[in-house]
A and B are shown apart, each in its own frame.
Chain A
Amino acid sequence: MATRDEIEELIARVKLRDRQAFSTLYAETSAKLYGVCLRVLKNRAEADEALQDVYVRIWNKADAYSANGYSPMTWLITMARNIAIDKLRARKAPSSGIEEAANLASPGLTPEGEVIAASERQRIMDCLEELEADRAGAVRGAYLDGDSYKDLAERYGVPLNTMRTWLRRSLLSLRDCLTR
C-alpha cells in the first residue's frame, strides 16, 4: 500500500480532476475500503454498491478534503464506513447472510503498518483494555461492524437505554484515557 504522503498527493491531484490519479488512488485503496464495506454490510452485492458510492463521493468531495483536518486514510476509511453504515441502517430486514458473515468476520491483522502506525493502534487498544470486556466489545462492535444500539442491547441482554448509558460512559472513559 502507498504511504500517507502518496495518498495525500493522489487526493490533491483528484481534486484537480486528474483521472489518472483517481485510477491510481482506486488501485491503492480499494481493497481496504472494500474490506471496510464488507465488514459492515456482510453482503457482497451491497458492498459492491457501497464501494461505487464511496469512489463517486471521493471524486466529488476531494476539494473538501484538505480543509477538514483528516489524515488521508482516515478520511477515506471514514467515508467508506459511513456510506456502508447508512446502507446498513436503510435495510428493511436484517441480513440473513450468517455464513457469509462468519467467513468475512475472521479477525486477523493485515500488513499495512505504513498507514496506521502501530503506536496509535496500541494506544486505543490499551484504552479499550481499561474498559470492562463487555463495554469494550460494544464499542468495537459499533465501530467495526456498524452495530446499532438495538443490536448491542440484544447481544448484551440489557434494555436499550441502559446500553446507551453504558456506551456513553465508555466513550468518556476512553477519551480520558486517550488524552491522558
Chain B
Amino acid sequence: MTLHPNPLFSIQDLTLHFPLTRGLADLVLRQPAREVRALNGINLEISQGETLGIVGESGCGKSTLARCLVRLLDPTSGTIRFQDQNIANFKGTERQTYNRQVQMIFQDPYSSLNPRMTVGQILDEALRVHEMRPETERPARIAELLDLVRLPRNAAEKLPHEFSGGQRQRIGIARALAVEPICLVADELVSALDVSVQAQVVNLLLELQEELGLTVLFVAHDLRLVRHVSHQVAVIYLGSIVEIGPSETLFRAPTHPYSQALLSAAPSLNPEERHDKPAISGELPSPLNVPAGCPFHVRCPLATARCTSEKPLLKPLPGGGQAACHHAETSVGERKQ
C-alpha cells in the first residue's frame, strides 16, 4: 500500500481508546468497561516536504491523531514509524531528539505560552535545552527567529499578554522553529483567530515551509483553508480515515459519501454552487459507541446490508487517492448524474 518511496511518517493501524472510569454501580451491575474510541485503525503515510491536511467534524479524532504524532498521547495499539523507526521505542535523549525534529503548534494562543516568561526567555530556553547555539550566539538567533515570524526585535523583552492572538500564534511558531524541526504539526493553527489575521498566519506558515523545506501536518476544520494549504488531504470520520488523496482531486471530485457531504456543507461564494439539499442527515454517533461495519453507514444514503457488518478498507481510486467505501464506484457515478 506504499504510495511514497520513502515516507517520513508511516502510521499503521493506529488505535487509541480512552477507558472511562467505572463507578461502583457499574461494577455491581457488571456493566462492561466503556471506552471512548478516539482513533480506530488509522493508516497513513506522510512524505518529506509535503503538507497533509486533516479534516473532519469536531470530535472525529483529528487532534488526538496530532497529539499521538508528537507523543503527547500514547496509542493503545498500532505503530507510528518516523524515518523507519518506531517512535514508541524512543526513550531519554532519543525521545528528546525526536521531539526536536517533530514540533507542534497549539490551537489556543492564550494558553500555549507561559504567562510569566518573556518571549526572549521562551525562545532562549528552547535553544539552551537542545544546545542549538552556544550562549554567546543565542541573542542573535532569537532576533533572527523574531525576524523570521515578522515580529519586532523588541518583542523579546515582552510578556505574552502584551501581544494579540495572531502575534502570539507567531511566537508559538518561532518557538517551534527555534529547535530547527523537520516536521510541524499544526493543530487548528488559526481557528481561535480573526479571519483577517488567519490569512497572515497561514501564509507565514506556507512561506516558512517553502523556505525551510518543512513537512506540515495541518489539522483544521476549515475546508477552504485546508484546500489552500495542503498537497494531500485526509478526511477523518469517527477515528478512521474515510478518504485520502491529492488536495485538488479530493476537493473537485470527492468519492466517499461522507467527503461529498462534508464538502457540500461548506459555504461557497459562487452562487452556482449553492444548493438547498441538506448535506448530511443525522448526528455524529458518539465515539463511545462506534457503529459496527462502516462507521458512516447510519447516516449514509448509499448504505446496504454489507455496510452494517463489514468495515471497508482504503482502496486506490482512479484519480490517485484512496477511499474506504464499499460503493466507491457507485458513489462517483451517482455524483455525476
Q: Do A and B come from the same complex? A: no
